[in-house]
């Protein structure tokens, strides 16, 4: 890998940010009603109920630990693959009538309906996995969640799936129950897991109804889940909602992830977004469900860091972004030069570039632009450049990977306020700024 070579383009391009806007928020807002049947609103998780503001919130260290475990696993798999990435080789649309909200754990939540009559559930959105699941009755080991558990016996459209069916055998891990129905096991990158019955029932998106939708009915669920009712799998595998609804939505979806408690975003299935710029979507045989693209450069404060193209995972389940050490070192060096007027603060776990902003009402941070294959540029939203635990500790939201494995991970903080379009059928990923407006 070539060491990044800074090339000065423009002098000192900066964002000016209100420091208070970066502090952990205790403000609340209720989701607004959809303006059209296909519009889905996005608000901060805390906005659903003020009593949740201080309950079950993971610590900053815990969030970073979960991120690091997820990225370490991706690194190991990519390092062992020893393969090159290759391009993956008139539909309905639904702008899900649900709220996508930023949760306490910096994840994003979408509200859907399951069963007949419809039961509303709040699921964590994850582009890094396929199977959608929710906690179910009877529950052997479940964590506390916001809504009542899904109970298949209360739905007139519920059906079991036999363990010898293709739907069962296509799962990564499955086995047969004593009644010859399908049992699943899903283990995630941060060592969380869910296991239970693979079943099917009616899925509702606003006015759209998907019959016989396959999902996991989790009876034993462990790990770092919070109040979410489960997970919505947006990966590319056969079990994902994207593959299951291909005949309706043509394997196209887009979203905008909001940046805070007063922001609104969306998830939309089946339609692209005008004005987006596309970069090729890549795949890796070891991670066929993940969305890879090629990062070819980074610009910071007008300085372009040139390096050999990096395999990059676009991951809604990670919070911060991770770069190979040499690339990170060059980015950090220029960031520190641009932030010379602010005193340094102690590091926060793997975030080693932190500042004490005590007494500052505004802070000027250098503009950071991610540049993907085809010169597709993504200028990071100012709210996602610093991770602020308090006014005395605000940290750069990039970290280095553990070694020089040529892989990067772009987390959800660096996707905020962008239209991000996944056009799986045409093997491309698109970006457009101001997506949540």
Contacts of 244 (CB under 8 A, 6+ apart): 210, 213, 214, 238
Closest CA to 99 of 122, 115, 119, 81: 122
What tokens does 77 get? Answer: 């798999």
Active-site pick, 190, 315, 381, 423: 315
Do β-strands 303-314 and 407-410 pair in parallel, antiparallel, or remain unpaired? parallel
Q: How far is CA 353 from CA 237, 307, 336, in A?
A: 37, 22, 8
What tokens does 145 get? Answer: 């969640």
**Catalytic residue list contains 126:** yes
Distance separating alpha carbons of residues 142 and 79, to the nearest angstrom: 34
By the 10 Å C-beta count (0-12 exposed, 13-18 middle, 19+ buried), 194 is classed as buried
Closest CA to 373 of 324, 327, 309, 313: 309
Active-site pick, 67, 126, 208, 423: 126
Instruction: Tell me the β-bridge partners of 388.
Output: 394
Query: Where on the phi/psi map is residue 232: left (φ > 0), alpha (ψ -120 to 50), or beta?
Result: beta
**Catalytic residue list contains 160:** no
Peptide bond preceding 23: is omega within 30 degrees of 0, i.e. cis?
no
Q: Which residues are catalytic?
A: 126, 315
């Amino acid at each position: 890998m070539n060491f990044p070579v800074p090339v000065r383009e423009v002098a000192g391009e900066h964002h000016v940010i209100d420091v208070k806007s970066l502090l952990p928020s205790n403000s609340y807002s209720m989701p607004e009603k959809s303006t059209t049947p296909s519009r889905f609103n996005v608000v901060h998780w805390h906005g659903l109920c003020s009593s949740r503001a201080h309950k079950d919130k993971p610590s900053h260290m815990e969030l970073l630990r979960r991120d690091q475990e997820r990225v370490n696993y991706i690194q190991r798999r990519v390092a062992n693959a020893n393969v090159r990435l290759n391009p993956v080789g008139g539909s309905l649309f639904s702008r899900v009538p649900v709220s996508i909200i930023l949760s306490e754990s910096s994840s994003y939540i979408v509200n859907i309906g399951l069963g007949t009559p419809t039961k509303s559930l709040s699921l964590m959105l994850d582009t890094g996995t396929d199977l959608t699941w929710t906690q179910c009755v009877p529950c052997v080991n479940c964590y506390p969640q916001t809504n009542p558990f899904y109970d298949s016996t209360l739905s007139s459209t519920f059906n079991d799936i036999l363990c010898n069916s293709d739907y069962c055998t296509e799962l990564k891990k499955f086995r047969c129950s004593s009644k010859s129905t399908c049992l699943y096991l899903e283990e995630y990158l941060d060592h969380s897991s869910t296991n239970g019955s693979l079943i099917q029932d009616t899925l509702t998106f606003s006015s759209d109804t998907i019959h016989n939708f396959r999902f996991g009915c989790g009876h034993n669920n462990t790990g770092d889940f919070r109040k979410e009712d489960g997970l919505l799998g947006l990966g590319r595998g056969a079990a994902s909602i994207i593959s299951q609804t291909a005949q309706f939505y043509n394997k196209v979806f887009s979203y905008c992830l909001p940046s805070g408690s007063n922001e609104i975003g969306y998830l939309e299935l089946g339609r692209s977004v005008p004005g987006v710029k596309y970069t090729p979507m890549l795949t890796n045989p070891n991670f066929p469900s993940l969305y890879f693209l090629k990062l070819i450069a980074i610009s910071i404060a007008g300085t372009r860091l040139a390096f050999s193209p990096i395999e990059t995972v676009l991951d809604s389940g990670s919070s911060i972004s991770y770069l190979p050490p040499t690339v990170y070192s060059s980015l950090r060096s220029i960031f520190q030069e641009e932030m010379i007027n602010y005193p340094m603060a102690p590091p926060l776990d793997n975030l080693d570039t932190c500042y004490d902003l005590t007494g500052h009402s505004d802070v000027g941070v250098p503009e950071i632009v991610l540049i993907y294959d085809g010169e597709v540029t993504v200028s990071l939203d100012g709210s996602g450049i610093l991770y602020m635990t308090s006014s005395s500790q605000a940290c750069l939201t990039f970290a280095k990977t553990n070694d020089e494995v040529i892989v990067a991970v772009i987390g959800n903080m660096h996707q905020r306020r962008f239209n991000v379009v996944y056009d799986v059928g045409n093997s491309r990923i698109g970006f457009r700024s101001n997506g949540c407006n």
